[in-house]
Amino acid sequence: MPRLDDTQIEQLVSKAWEARLNAYAPYSQFHVGAALLAADGRIFTGANVENASLGLTMCAERVALGAAAAAGVRSVAAIAVAGVDDDGVVPCGACRQVLNEFSPKMLIIRCRPDGSHSVTSLNELLTSPFTGESVEKGKNPSREPVGAA
């Protein structure tokens, strides 16, 4: 698991709350911001962007990761997520899966409205991810499902 000092964590927390101000959430009113720390030290932010067709909504974490990936990032140290939930917000299942593609051991920082935060790791939140190895196993034609004729 990556190690961050208090200054790095506080910077991510601050940037996540700042990004939250730019959220576009006219339907749920659930504004979320994220700040992602790339392994090379760069920080990328994102805010959720809702759509009337709710399935097209983009979570703050994936917006931040998309910006990072577009800038060439392929490894992530941590992501801070800010939203108004007393326990702090964690990435949804889809975001966990997408984040796992880049860094399974990244730190997840849950920012709470009272200014506190807690830190966990992605692999603690996503214990059985679907991976590239899963895809390769699925390509093997010699592995027929049980009961297949």
Range of the domain at 37: 6-127
Q: Is residue 63 part of a domain?
A: yes
Which of the residues are catalytic?
61
Q: Which amino acid belongs to residue 98?
A: V
Assess if residue 72 is contained within a domain.
Answer: yes
Task: Confirm whether 114 is domain-assigned.
Answer: yes
pLDDT digits (tens, 9 = 90+) for 29-62: 999 999 999 999 999 999 999 999 999 999 999 9
Count of domains in the chain? 1
In a domain, 77, yes or no: yes
**SS3 labels along the chain:** CCCCCHHHHHHHHHHHHHHHCCCECCCCCCCEEEEEEECCCCEEEEECECCCCHHHCECHHHHHHHHHHHCCCCCEEEEEEEECCCCCCCCCHHHHHHHHCCCCCCEEEEECCCCCEEEEEHHHHCCCCCCHHHHHHHHCCCCCCCCCC
The answer as to whether 138 is a domain residue is no
Over residues 76-129, the pLDDT tens digits come to: 999 999 999 999 999 999 999 999 999 999 999 999 999 999 999 999 999 988
The answer to whether residue 75 is domain-embedded is yes
CATH code, 26: 3.40.140.10
